[in-house]
Amino acid sequence: MLFESEAHNAGQIAISVRNLNLIYKTTVQKKPTFRQALTRTGRKIRTVNALSNLTLEIPYGSVLGVIGANGAGKSSLMRVVAGIVPPTTGRVEVYGQVSTLLSLGVGFNARLTGRENVILGGLAAGLTRAEIEAQFSAIADFADIGEAIDSPMKTYSAGMYSRLAFAVAVVVEPDVLIVDEALSTGDAKFKKKSLEKIKTLRGDNRAIILVSHALATIKEICNDVIWLDKGKIVMRGNPEEVVAAYKESLQVAKSSSADEDL
C-alpha cells in the first residue's frame, strides 16, 4: 500500500461536509486579459452557485455514487473534497489520504511519456519515488497499454489515456478514492476489470466516491447515492430508489439509452 493508511472500521466517518457553498465568479470572456482589466466596465461578471448549502457525511466502507445532469456541481464537489478548490463558505473534513479525481494529475504534460507523467503526478501528490516505483509495474499491468507507457502521452488515444489514469488511481489504494467519470472511455473488457477492482476496494473498508452518468454501474456497485441538481442535494439514499427518481425526472425511464452502461 502506498499511503500510510491505518485500517478503518466500516461506519467510521471518512468525509464530513458541512454547510458547503461554492460560488464561482467568472467573466463572460474565457481568458482574462490586460485589455479587460483596463476596460473593466465592458465585462460582465457571471456568478455561478456551483454548490449551495451542502451537508453530508460519508462513512468508511461505503461507495457513494454521485449523479446529476451536466453542471449539477458533481465535479465541483469532488474538487472541494480533494482540497483543490477552497470552499466559499462551510467546512470540509477528510479523515485519511485522498487519491484525487483519479489520475493524480496523470498526463499534465503531453510531451512526457506515460511513465514520466505517472511518476511526476505521484511525486506532486507527495509520494516518494521509491513508493511510486514499487507500485509502477502494478500500474502498468493494470492499465495494460503495453510499450506505449514509454511513448509521449500526446500519442495516446483517449482510451489509453483514461486506462492509465484509472490504473494510477486504484493501484495506489488510498483511504478515500474519488473516481470522476473515469470508466466512460475504456472498452468493455477494461470496464469489467475496473468494476471488479472497485468492488475489491469496497471490501477493504475504504470510502469511494464515484461520479458517473452510467446509471447501471451506479446501481451495481454503490450502496449509497446522492442526486445533485444545481448544487443542491435533491435526494440521497438507496441506489435503486434514487436512480429511479432521477430517471423519472429526466423522463427517460422508458428509454433504454440511459441505462446503457457508460
Count residues binding another protein (CB under 8 A): 54
Q: In what order do the strands lie in the sheet with 98-99?
A: 98-99, 176-180, 207-211, 63-67, 224-229, 232-237
72 burial via Cβ count (<10 Å: 0-12, 13-18, 19+): buried
Q: How far apart are CA 229 and CA 50, in angstroms?
A: 10
Subset of 30-59 contacting another protein (CB under 8 A):
31-35, 37
End-to-end distance of the chain based on CA atoms, in angstroms? 29
Q: Which is nearer to another protein, 23 or 258 (CB)?
A: 23
In the complex, the smallest distance separating the C-beta of residue 93 from another protein, rounded to whole angstroms, is 5
Among 57, 93, 133, 196, binds another protein (CB under 8 A): 93
Task: Determine, following the binding rule CB under 8 A, whether residue 253 of this chain makes contact with another protein.
Answer: no
Q: In whole angstroms, how large is the CA radius of gyration of the chain?
A: 19
In the complex, the smallest distance separating the C-beta of residue 96 from another protein, rounded to whole angstroms, is 6
Total Cβ atoms within 10 A of residue 193: 17
Among 56, 69, 92, 258, binds another protein (CB under 8 A): 92
Per-residue interface string for the shown chain with another protein, residues 102-131, x marking contact by CB under 8 A: xxxxxxxx-xx---x--xxx-xxxx-xx--
109 burial via Cβ count (<10 Å: 0-12, 13-18, 19+): middle
Per-residue interface string for the shown chain with another protein, residues 126-155, x marking contact by CB under 8 A: x-xx----------------------x---
Task: Determine, following the binding rule CB under 8 A, whether residue 170 of this chain makes contact with another protein.
Answer: no
Q: How far apart are CA 262 and CA 55, in angstroms?
A: 28
Residue bearing cell 453530508? 56
Task: Determine, following the binding rule CB under 8 A, whether residue 175 of this chain makes contact with another protein.
Answer: yes
Q: Which is nearer to another protein, 102 or 222 (CB)?
A: 102
In the complex, the residues that contact another protein under the rule CB under 8 A are 4-6, 24, 31-35, 37, 79-98, 100-109, 111-112, 116, 119-121, 123-126, 128-129, 152, 175
